[in-house]
């Protein structure tokens, strides 16, 4: 097996960098380094020191916005405007972690509620959970690293981070920044390794918390192999259904849905994929949605005007092309797109009414493809939206609050956006899938809480 990984530009496949993979036998030392650091409480970082390090890291990142933006473009292919937005989000994420450090606190537990509990004072305190092992996805190489690395550091946990091998450069840059900001050695170790070595890492009994962002197949498999006592948070994909009622505001809705559908070429776990449109406005919706989609600028992600760039590699472009071809053969109508612009760029594509059995209908597309389905009975649309195993974020467009609340109540999703696209997210809100889409909740403060555990202290005194 090759002991290096070649990082290639998704846009033109040019070699960006070649990095060395660690051997599986090196995992032992990496885990032991982290565990030894955690076991010696004299080495734990006090809150003020974590705040100083992270504040300085945010300042360094802010001074390197363009550098980090083009680094993310080079490895991930996300267009300039969106990569820059990711860098700005990542900086905000570090600041959010700093703000939440002061909120890692316990609470008093009432005593004297029974005679047996007289003369006692009880309260909880928060402690870091232990060594964190984190595996990340390719699609947001800097922001995801912040969500898994910075949260662990802020919670007081040594973290071992495995980035996606397609996009490791942004996390390596973040590691350099954290070191420059004063993070002591051992609190962050980044590993580039094979799947076998990664499995050895996360299933080790010395790992107290496993954070995973990526495919459901891999995530659920690794969860099944975790050691007893290892807690975890898994974030997988979804199909992001949208229900559009006849009173929806087209002027607001169309730009939102186009952005939510084709942002990062649809390579987002909550990207708009299935749009159920009231039959009375379906023709008009298709017309306006198609017009807006066709105005998107597709091409070189380094150009500031580009809206849609490449898929992460040619294999993914092959897969998307096959799924679209299958859907059309099954009876779907191709409204626009459906062809490749290059080896890795696929046109923003709209399909009308593909069968529910087609892959584009029943699996996560993770590409620039959106399916539109007409409906006459709202509950039937909701039933179809809920029929898949994946349930993450969803949306409804209507000006009728009664209809909106009815849909929110009935849709199986962790979050439902009203008059906004499914990919809306800010990093201080809870974010995660349910059912086969994941377990646990992300978001900066939520992840930090997941990486701590409570300890109860009870004091007995005759003077209490």
What is the rounded distance in angstroms from the CA atom of residue 228 to the CA atom of residue 314? 39
SS3 199: helix
- What is the CB neighbour count within 10 angstroms for residue 176? 12
Return the structure tokens found at 452.
């701590």
Q: Catalytic pick from 157, 193, 269, 282?
A: 269
C-alpha span between 220 and 392 (Å, rounded)? 16
Measuring CA to CA, which residue among 138, 168, 172, 188 is closest to residue 38? 188
- Phi/psi for 394 (5° steps) reads -140, 175
Contact 192, 168 (CB under 8 A): yes
Q: Return all residues near 369 (Cβ < 8 A) that are at least 6 apart.
A: 266, 273, 320, 323, 324, 337, 346, 349, 350, 351, 360
Instruction: Determine the 3-state secondary structure of 396 from DSSP.
Output: strand
- Distance between CA 211 and CA 234 in Å, rounded? 6
Task: Using alpha carbons, select from 130, 155, 128 the residue that is nearest to residue 208.
Answer: 130
Q: What is the DSSP string of 268-323?
A: STT---EEEEEGGGHHHHHHHHHHHHHT--BS-TTSTT-SB---SSHHHHHHHHHH
Catalytic residue among 75, 86, 199, 235: 235
Q: Is 196 a catalytic residue?
A: no
Count of residues in the chain: 464
Query: How many CB atoms neighbour CB 280 within 10 A?
Result: 13
Nearest Cα to Cα of residue 369 among 240, 265, 227: 265
Q: Is 193 a known active-site residue? A: no
- Cite the active site residues: 235, 269
């Amino acid at each position: 097996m090759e002991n290096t990984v070649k990082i290639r530009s998704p846009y033109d496949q040019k070699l960006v960098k070649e990095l060395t993979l660690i051997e599986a036998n090196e995992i032992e030392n990496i885990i032991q380094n982290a565990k030894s650091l955690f076991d010696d409480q004299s080495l734990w970082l006090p809150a003020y020191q974590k705040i100083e390090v992270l504040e300085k890291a945010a300042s360094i990142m802010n001074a390197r916005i363009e550098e980090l933006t083009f680094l993310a473009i080079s490895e991930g292919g996300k267009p300039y405007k969106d990569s820059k937005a990711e860098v700005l989000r990542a900086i905000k994420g570090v600041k959010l972690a700093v703000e939440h450090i002061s909120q890692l606190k316990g609470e008093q537990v009432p005593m004297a509620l029974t005679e047996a509990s007289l003369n006692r004072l009880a309260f909880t305190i928060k402690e870091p959970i232990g060594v964190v092992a984190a595996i990340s996805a390719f699609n947001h190489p800097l922001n995801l690293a912040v969500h898994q690395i910075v949260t662990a550091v802020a919670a007081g946990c040594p973290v071992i981070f495995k980035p996606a091998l397609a996009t490791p450069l942004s996390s390596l840059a973040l590691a350099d920044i954290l070191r420059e900001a004063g993070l002591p050695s051992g609190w962050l170790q980044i590993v580039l390794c094979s799947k076998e070595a990664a499995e050895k890492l996360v299933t080790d009994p010395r790992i107290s918390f496993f954070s995973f962002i990526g495919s459901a197949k891999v995530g659920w498999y690794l969860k099944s192999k975790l050691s007893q006592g290892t807690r975890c948070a898994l974030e997988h994909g979804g199909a992001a259904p949208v229900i559009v009622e006849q009173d929806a505001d087209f002027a607001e809705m169309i730009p939102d849905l186009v952005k939510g559908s084709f942002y990062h070429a649809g390579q987002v776990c909550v990207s708009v994929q299935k749009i159920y449109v009231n039959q009375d406005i379906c023709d008009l919706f298709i017309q306006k949605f198609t017009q807006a989609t066709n105005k998107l600028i597709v091409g070189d992600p380094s150009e500031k005007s580009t809206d849609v760039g490449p898929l992460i590699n040619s294999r993914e472009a092959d897969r998307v092309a096959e799924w679209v071809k299958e859907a059309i053969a099954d009876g779907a109508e191709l409204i626009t797109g459906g062809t490749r612009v290059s080896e890795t760029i696929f046109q923003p594509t709209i399909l009308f009414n593909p069968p529910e059995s087609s892959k584009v209908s029943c699996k996560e597309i993770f590409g620039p493809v959106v399916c539109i389905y007409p409906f006459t009975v709202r509950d039937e649309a909701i039933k179809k939206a809920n029929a898949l195993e994946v349930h993450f974020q969803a949306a409804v467009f209507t000006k009728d609050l009664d209809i909106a609340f009815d849909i929110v109540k009935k849709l199986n999703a962790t979050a439902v956006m009203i008059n906004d696209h499914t990919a809306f997210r800010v990093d201080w809100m809870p974010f995660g899938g349910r059912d086969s889409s994941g377990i646990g909740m992300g978001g900066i403060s939520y992840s930090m809480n997941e990486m701590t555990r409570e300890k109860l202290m009870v004091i007995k005194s005759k003077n209490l």
